[in-house]
Amino acid sequence: MFAQQLLNGVTTGAVYALFALGFTIVFGTQRILNLAHGAVFMAGAFIGYFATQKGLTFVPAVLLAMAGSAVLACLVDLVAFRGLRASGQLEFGAIISSIGVALMITSVGQGVSGTRVLVYPFDFVPNLFFSVLGLRISLLQIITLASVAAILAVVVFLIYRTSLGRQIRAVAGNPRAATLLGVSPGAVYLIVFAISGALAGYAGVLIGLLFNTVHFMMGDPYLLKAFVVVVLGGLGSVYGAVVAGFLLGILQAFAIAYFSGSLADIIFYSLVFLILIIRPGGLFGNAASTVKVGRA
């Protein structure tokens, strides 16, 4: 059972990492808690679902969900944050405005779904299982792990190895200095939101497929988990979010497997508490340092 639960944990952790990465890059570049991230994640799952209802296959449906969520995330930036950014009231105002936008998006989700739980078609991803060294692994788990690994690699490459990534890091470090160097912070923020939304959208589709549920309230519990993941990983740390995402998934699986479902959260949050006592800045961060999209 150990290896099987490890696989369960790694699969779930991969999606947590994807979701939390979108949350943390917005925080890392702009120092705002985008509490509408869960609603964008929900919207991605909905777009993917309705794409399947129109007969789209897996890849086009995923691309549509990612594109739709990216556009929605940009709208969130324009509606909820841009005005606050201009007025210099971003840090706390953003929390309230993003909650407002999240409620609006959630209400649309409720209206569209009629409050029902939606389910992706059962044959959307073939229900195939493989037996590898005594492990029971599904095609969906393989797709999840492979695609998340590829996406994480692309995002890391984008941030640390491209001109766009340099602009993002420059804006994260000092927006005024970046402006003097010819970088447009407004455009960079929009791009970061688009990346964040696309990641959330794909995470939404994966959660909808893996756990057979698409629901207008599905973003809330994942937002809380993402918040824990980014604090644990170190606020704004890309690598921290990824490592902490996997850690959360694996710890949850083992807590359920070897203790009880009712104790899983207690065990996990106790461990987070202990880690933060030892490393207040999280695994890959420092609470006192300037928050930025950094490697560690």
Partner 1 sequence: MALKPKYSRFVAAGLFAALLGGAVPAGADEYNISLATSLTGNLAPFGVPQVNGIRLAVEELNARKFLGEHTLTVSVQDDANDRGQVVTLLNTAAADPKTMIHAGLIWGPTVVSLAPLLNDLKIPLFYVSQTSEPLGLSEWFFKMTTSPDKSLATLANYAVEKAKIKKLAVVYMRDAENMVASTKIFRDNMQAHGVEIVSDESVLASDTNFSALATKIAATNPDSIWLGTFGAQAANIVVQLKRAGVREDVKIFPVAGPNNEYLEAGGSAVNDTFFYGDFNAQTDQPMVAEFVKNYRAKYGDVPNSWAAIGYTEGLLAAQAIKQSMPNPTREKVRAAMAAMKDVPTVLGNGPWSVDEKRVPVYVQSILVVKDKKFETAP
Interior/surface letters 77-103, b for 16+ CB within 10 angstroms, e for the rest: beebbeebbeeeebeebbeebbeebbe
DSSP state of 294: -
**Is-contact 223 35, C-beta < 8 A?**
yes
Q: Which of 157, 183, 204 is nearest to 44 (CA)?
A: 204
Q: Which residues bind partner 1 (CB under 8 A)?
A: 1, 4-5, 8-9, 11-12, 107, 110, 114-117, 119, 122, 127, 129, 136, 138, 207, 210-213, 215, 217-218, 220-221, 252-254, 256-257, 260-262
Q: Which is nearer to partner 1, 29 or 106 (CB)?
A: 106
**Is-contact 103 238, C-beta < 8 A?**
no
Q: Which is nearer to partner 1, 12 or 69 (CB)?
A: 12
CA 50 to each of CA 58, 73, 140, 202: distance values in angstroms, whole numbers, following the listed order? 12, 19, 19, 14
Distance of closest approach, residue 39 Cβ to partner 1, in angstroms: 14
Q: Which is nearer to partner 1, 43 or 172 (CB)?
A: 43
Output the CA torsion sign for 275, 277, 281, 286. Answer: negative
Q: Which is nearer to partner 1, 60 or 261 (CB)?
A: 261
Distance of closest approach, residue 51 Cβ to partner 1, in angstroms: 18
Q: Which is nearer to partner 1, 5 or 174 (CB)?
A: 5
Distance of closest approach, residue 217 Cβ to partner 1, in angstroms: 6
Distance of closest approach, residue 273 Cβ to partner 1, in angstroms: 20
Distance of closest approach, residue 113 Cβ to partner 1, in angstroms: 9
Other beta carbons less than 10 A from residue 122's beta carbon: 9
